[in-house]
């Protein structure tokens, strides 16, 4: 039996109704390594907090934070960013915030993205950008199969105003909660992928990025490693390095173990692998999110089982590195200074580590009541 893929309840916030944008305080004087923006759930609202990160990964609140507060009912929350813009989505709208040199956010624009969904009433579950930060993509979810297929909506970003212009859409796999998973763009910015399992077995989303930013889906059928003890199914997000290699989590049967494969794309977007049951490392974490470090040599795996980091070796097999570093992990992101940030929740709140291929050191946890998703803007 194929494993069912469940979209974490952490993205669903059941609250009720208004959005406010507070005044912002004066700028910070110190220059941080990164700005970290977090969707934090409070008992009766959701807020967008901003933090500065120092050279150890230590976190300090930004003046004027929180930059956004909402009491809107039953809303999915998602973040994406470029160097100068932060994008936030609720069920239907996408908000564009400019990022000042001191990390302050200012709302500049918004768009009702739900109107462009195939059914006209679908919900946005995830945002992501291409590697050049010129096109913003929104995965949307049809509440019922009768409403139409899931889709990825594409928007052109105005670098001056933050305004978004709708470009088009492409179908996205229509199994339950698939839009919560984000396709990974290869380093060439031409191809994006995500593997999955549905009632028919293993499937793949493969998208080719056109010159105008729209995505065309094309068929692929990469080999899945064999195992005498069962059948592997892709699980959660894929993650790409700056070249043409893709990390894919493979769950064996219904209960695991979960192992990590690496695929390499050719110039036409076809995926091949040298991964086998024998050379794939086992992960203690079933990932919701995975991310390759900017240098391309580390792979972070984040999910309900916590956080674990592996050596990423290009097209060669992934190899073990750290122990399990956290008990839980809701979202993660790297900066360009060898820091990895996660939202863990509970008493731990936000966590950060300085991690290289040779050592890792934890920064003190930063308490937030219930942080979910995050975005990290390196400086």
**For the chain, what is the HEC assignment?**
CCCCCCCCHHHEECCCCCEECCCCCCCCCCCCCEEEEEEEECCCCEEEEEEEECCCCCEEECCCCCCEEECCCCEECEEEECCCEEEEECCCEEEEEEECCCCCEEEEEEEEHHHHCCCCCCEEEEEEECCCCCEEEEEEECCCHHHCCEEEEEEEECCCCCCEEEEEEEEECCCCCHHHCCCEECCCCCEEEEEEEECCEEEEEEEEECCCCCEEECCCCCCCCCECCECEEECCCCEECCCCEEEEEEEECCCCCEEEEEEEECCCCCEEECCCCCCCCEECCCEEEEEECCCCCEEEEEECCEEEEEECCCCCCCEECCCCCECCCCEEEECCCCEEEEEEECCCEEEEEEECCCCEEECCCECCCCEEEEEEEEC
Q: Give percent above pLDDT 70 in the chain.
A: 86
Give the tens place of pLDDT for each residue, 134-167. 999 999 877 665 555 688 999 999 989 999 999 9
- Sign of the CA dihedral running 343, 345, 349, 355: negative
Check whether 25 has a pLDDT greater than 50.
Answer: no
Give the tens place of pLDDT for each residue, 218-251. 999 999 999 999 999 999 889 999 999 999 999 9
Question: What does the mean pLDDT of the chain come to?
Answer: 87
Closest residue by Cα to residue 252 from 231, 274, 273, 236? 231
pTM, two decimals, is 0.89
Long-range contacts of residues 322-325, Cβ cutoff 8 Å, at least 24 apart: 322/355, 322/360, 324/284, 324/285, 325/351, 325/353, 325/360, 325/362
Sheet holding 184-185, edge to edge: 184-185, 191-198, 201-209, 215-217
Check whether 10 has a pLDDT greater than 50.
Answer: no
Distance CA 225, CA 203 (A): 14
- Domain coordinates in residue numbering, the chain: 1-121+330-345+355-379, 188-319
Closest residue by Cα to residue 127 from 76, 170, 196? 76
Task: Tell me which of 2.130.10.10, 3.40.50.1000, 2.30.30.180, 3.40.1280.10 is the CATH number of domain 188-319.
Answer: 2.130.10.10
Give the tens place of pLDDT for each residue, 168-212. 999 887 655 455 688 999 999 999 999 988 777 888 999 999 999
- What's the pLDDT score for residue 110? 96
Q: How far apart are the first and last CA of the chain?
A: 47
Region of 228 please: left (phi>0), alpha (psi -120 to 50) or beta. Answer: alpha
- What's the pLDDT score for residue 124? 86
Q: Name the pLDDT band for 120 (thresholds 50, 70, 90).
A: low
Check whether 3 has a pLDDT greater than 50.
Answer: no
Higher pLDDT, 105 or 23: 105
Check whether 216 has a pLDDT greater than 50.
Answer: yes
Give the tens place of pLDDT for each residue, 61-119. 999 999 999 887 556 668 999 999 999 998 889 999 999 999 999 999 999 998 888 76
């Amino acid at each position: 039996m194929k494993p069912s893929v469940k979209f974490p309840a952490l993205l669903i916030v059941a609250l009720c109704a208004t959005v406010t944008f507070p005044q912002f305080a004066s700028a910070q004087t110190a220059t941080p390594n990164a700005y970290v923006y977090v969707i934090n759930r409070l008992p009766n609202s959701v807020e967008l907090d901003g933090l500065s990160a120092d050279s150890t990964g230590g976190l300090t609140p930004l003046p004027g934070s929180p930059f956004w507060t909402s009491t809107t009912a039953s809303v999915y929350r998602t973040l994406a960013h470029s160097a100068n813009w932060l994008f936030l989505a609720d069920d239907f709208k996408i908000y564009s915030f400019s990022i000042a040199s001191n990390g302050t956010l200012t709302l500049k624009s918004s768009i009702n993205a739900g109107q462009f969904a195939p059914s006209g009433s679908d919900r946005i579950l995830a945002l992501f950008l291409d590697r050049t930060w010129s096109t913003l993509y929104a995965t949307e979810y049809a509440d019922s199969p009768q409403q139409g297929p899931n889709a990825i909506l594409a928007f052109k970003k105005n670098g001056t105003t933050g305004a978004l212009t709708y470009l088009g859409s492409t179908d996205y796999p229509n199994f339950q909660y698939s839009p919560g998973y984000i396709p990974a763009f290869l380093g060439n910015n031409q191809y994006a992928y995500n593997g999955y399992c549905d009632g028919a077995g293993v499937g793949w989303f493969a998208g080719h990025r056109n010159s105008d930013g729209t995505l065309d889906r094309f068929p692929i059928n990469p080999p899945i490693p064999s195992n005498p003890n069962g059948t592997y199914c892709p699980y959660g997000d894929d993650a790409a390095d700056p070249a043409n290699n893709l990390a894919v989590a493979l769950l064996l049967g219904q209960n695991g173990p979960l192992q990590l494969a690496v695929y390499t794309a050719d110039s036409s977007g076809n995926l091949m692998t040298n991964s086998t049951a024998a050379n794939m490392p086992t992960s203690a974490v079933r990932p919701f999110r995975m991310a390759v470090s900017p240098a391309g040599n580390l792979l972070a795996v984040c999910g309900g089982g916590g956080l674990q980091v592996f050596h990423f070796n290009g097209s060669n097999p992934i190899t073990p590195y750290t122990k399990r570093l956290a008990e839980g992990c809701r979202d993660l992101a790297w900066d360009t200074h060898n820091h990895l940030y996660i939202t863990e929740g509970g008493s731990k709140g936000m966590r950060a580590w300085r991690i290289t291929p040779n050592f890792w050191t934890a920064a003190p946890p930063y308490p937030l009541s219930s942080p979910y998703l995050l975005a990290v803007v390196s400086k």
